[in-house]
Amino acid sequence: MSITGSLAGIALLSGTAVAANLGKWGPTIQFPLVPVAAAVIPSTAELLVWSAYRNDSFQTGAQNVTQTAVWTPTNNVVKYFEVAYTDHDMFCPGVSFDFNGDLIVTGGDTAPATSILNPNTWQWTKAPNMQLARGYQSSATLSDGRVFTIGGSWSGGLAVKNGEVWDGSKWTLLNGCDGKPMLTADRQGIFRQDNHAWLFGWKSGSVFQAGPSKAMNWYFTSGTGSWSAAGTRNNDGDAMCGPAVMYDATAGKILTAGGSPNYQDSLATNNAYLITIGTPGNKPSVETLRKMRYARIFSTSTVLPDGSVLVLGGQTYGHPFSDANSTQVPELWNPNTKSWKQLVAGPTPRAYHSVSVLMPNGTVFNGGGGLCGNCGSSNHFDGQLFSPPYLFKSDGITPAVRPTISKVSASTVGLGKSLQATISNPSGGSMTFSLIRMGSSTHTVNTDQRRVPVTPSSSSGSVYTLPIPSDVGVVTPGYWYLWAMSSGVPGTAQIIKITP
């Protein structure tokens, strides 16, 4: 049978209309709060989500507790925890996993604060304040294990906020990492112009800032810091609250999707670009890609094991705390054809304050939206798992036959070393492998996720030898999902720790 045409998601196979494989939305998972931030915690692969000092509303300033919840996928139980002992309302923060899998959460409603979650004990610790109070800054883990942050005038005062680094015991201001070159021209001023930087930790302690400003920049974190301009994304303007994802770190490839010149009350774009970075300080190459079908601000992007990128949610016109103009049709970007495919629409609008995180079984959690107090239906106390098309046969209904990683030789592996993975491959498809760093998501930002393709150096029967690349700027140490795919169908990931 051959595909003879397609119309509105229906493929016509030899004259008979059958459902195309456009993915599937799973049952709704209810939370006791609006999940505005989310991360899969490596030790147990449970999903941590949080809102603000309340479960449905926020207030910048003196609040000092955070409402959190943990969803356990294996038994579908959601537990609620209030975290009070770090004196930190972690709403609108910067979030980064460090080399040990500690979740470093900075600023937001309590603008100077730092809280750290130990993934093994599930205990939060209060850490020293940042040098500058920040909210809507983003942060990125560096190749030397420190964590860099910049910007964040949404709370803690309006100012050009230069970069600073966390070294595990204290924050140090890097005044040479100038906050000015990364400002957008948002009409609300500095309050919005330094929000949600697209930061990628890279080689030699550098950070590539791919947006959302029209200008891209390199930040260098040795000594007192420095920066250099890195050009523009061709004709793209400021792209606030559009996502950017490093879908192939080995090749330095970053996809950007949408955004808007202003944080609110402004049309989004459907622009897409492919940025390829190499040596720190060099100008990256930028390719203008085919546009998405839908313009989007406040969407999320998640890189999948096969290197495709799933863009979910958002709205065509930026209006925080509103479900109006929602884009509920997912779009899946294929890195080989560089084209977008529309998938089955989600039942729930997910725009401002929504999150997406890749789960170990190859589904994507998409949840939240709102946190606006008495705004009623715009508060979404829930989420759903989206199953991408790779989890189904071509009929879009029958589950695909998936490979299994029955054994890995070690759960911790050093950069440049190898792992042996024993694979059961019942479908007999050709095996490929990849690594994806476990992510955290809030406000369109997920600086933790990045994908690294892995080519087996040898195989013997069902045992594959998988070399872990050696560049610490590319394979940021920490916890990673290891994926085995059979003809592009992923099994369940093994969670491994990569050490420097």
Ligand X SMILES: *[C@@H]1O[C@H](CO)[C@@H](O)[C@H](O)[C@H]1NC(C)=O
363 binds ligand X (CB under 6 A): yes
- For residue 342, what are the CA distances in angstroms to 85, 304, 312, 346, 354? 44, 16, 10, 11, 20
Name which of 130 and 385 has its Cβ closer to Cu ion. Answer: 130
373 binds ligand X (CB under 6 A): no
Catalytic residue, chosen from 352, 464, 479, 481, is 352
Name which of 73 and 243 has its Cβ closer to ligand X. Answer: 73
Residue 231's binding partner among Cu ion, ligand X, none (Cβ under 5 to 8 angstroms by kind) is none
Q: To the nearest whole angstrom, how small is the minimum distance from the Cβ of residue 476 to Cu ion?
A: 25
Name which of 49 and 419 has its Cβ closer to ligand X. Answer: 49
Q: To the nearest whole angstrom, how small is the minimum distance from the Cβ of residue 228 to Cu ion?
A: 30
Name which of 82 and 167 has its Cβ closer to ligand X. Answer: 82
Residue 92's binding partner among Cu ion, ligand X, none (Cβ under 5 to 8 angstroms by kind) is Cu ion
60 binds ligand X (CB under 6 A): no
Name which of 201 and 370 has its Cβ closer to Cu ion. Answer: 370
62 binds ligand X (CB under 6 A): yes
Q: To the nearest whole angstrom, how small is the minimum distance from the Cβ of residue 74 to ligand X?
A: 6
Check if 352 is active-site.
Answer: yes
Residue 451's binding partner among ligand X, Cu ion, none (Cβ under 5 to 8 angstroms by kind) is none
Q: Mark the segment that binds ligand X (CB under 6 A) among 15-23, 61-69, 370-378, 462-470.
A: 61-69
Characterize 246-275 residue by residue with b for buried, 16 or more Cβ atoms within 10 angstroms of its Cβ, and e for exposed. Answer: bbbbbebbbbbbbbbbbbbebebbbbbbbb
From its phi and psi, is residue 82 left (phi > 0), alpha (psi between -120 and 50) or beta? beta
92 binds Cu ion (CB under 5 A): yes
Name which of 92 and 277 has its Cβ closer to Cu ion. Answer: 92
Enumerate residues 309-338 that contact ligand X by CB under 6 A.
316-317, 319, 322, 324-325
From 130, 391, 452, 472, residue interacting with ligand X (rule: CB under 6 A): 391
Q: To the nearest whole angstrom, how small is the minimum distance from the Cβ of residue 372 to ligand X?
A: 13
Residue 404's binding partner among ligand X, Cu ion, none (Cβ under 5 to 8 angstroms by kind) is none
- Contact by Cβ (8 Å): 301, 356: yes
Q: To the nearest whole angstrom, how small is the minimum distance from the Cβ of residue 265 to ligand X?
A: 8
Enumerate residues 84-143 that contact ligand X by CB under 6 A.
87
Residue 161's binding partner among Cu ion, ligand X, none (Cβ under 5 to 8 angstroms by kind) is none
Residue 141's binding partner among ligand X, Cu ion, none (Cβ under 5 to 8 angstroms by kind) is none
From 32, 176, 237, 500, residue interacting with ligand X (rule: CB under 6 A): 32
55 binds ligand X (CB under 6 A): yes
Beta bridge partners of 115: 105, 126
- Per-residue contact flags (x/-) with ligand X for residues 11 to 30, judged by CB under 6 A: ---------------x----
Q: To the nearest whole angstrom, how small is the minimum distance from the Cβ of residue 147 to ligand X?
A: 25
Name which of 205 and 370 has its Cβ closer to ligand X. Answer: 370
Name which of 353 and 437 has its Cβ closer to Cu ion. Answer: 353
CA–CA gap between residue 309 and residue 433 (Å, rounded)? 16
From 28, 60, 64, 226, residue interacting with ligand X (rule: CB under 6 A): 64
158 binds ligand X (CB under 6 A): no
- Contact by Cβ (8 Å): 106, 133: no
Report the interface residues with ligand X, using CB under 6 A. Answer: 26, 32, 54-56, 62-64, 73-74, 87, 316-317, 319, 322, 324-325, 361, 363, 381, 385, 387, 391
Active site positions, annotated: 352
Report the interface residues with Cu ion, using CB under 5 A. Answer: 92
